[in-house]
Amino acid sequence: MSRQPNGNGQRRLGRKLKRYVTSWNETINGLRRRPSDGRWELADGRTFVEPDEEKTIERFRQLSEGRKKRTSTFISVSRSIDPAETTQAADTVDSESSLALVEHDDQTVDVGFDVDNAALWRYVVQEIRERPKWVAEQTGIGQIS
């Protein structure tokens, strides 16, 4: 066991936490392979055995994401005192998705979509990589392309 200094000049016990680097060169924080027995260990101490590296990363993400609280973003399409107006506006944007309704203290109603943050950002990254000119046109941010 090594002793490493912390920010206060004191030493703390334990090993320095290592990050796992995949064969495709992706750094995975919170996962390491124990050299003593080859088991995979999460940062919280849970362990598992999996010989296939891709399945290991998939399982790690399932185990670690299961503990995270889902966060979402509400994307408003329309806000009005008249719910019929907001629903009609939302239908013109996308009539296939489920709508969310938010009532405010000022008697107005927002209609829009509740989107998982992780899914939203994965989509944004994908679109920037695959269609940077289109994203630049849609957002008005020319530096994207």
pLDDT in tens, 3-21: 444 455 544 455 555 688 9
> Residue 90 above 90 pLDDT?
no
Distance CA 84, CA 86 (A): 6
Question: Is 53 in contact with 42 (CB distance < 8 Å)?
Answer: no
- Give the pLDDT score at 75: 80
pTM for this predicted structure: 0.43
Mean residue pLDDT of the chain comes to: 78
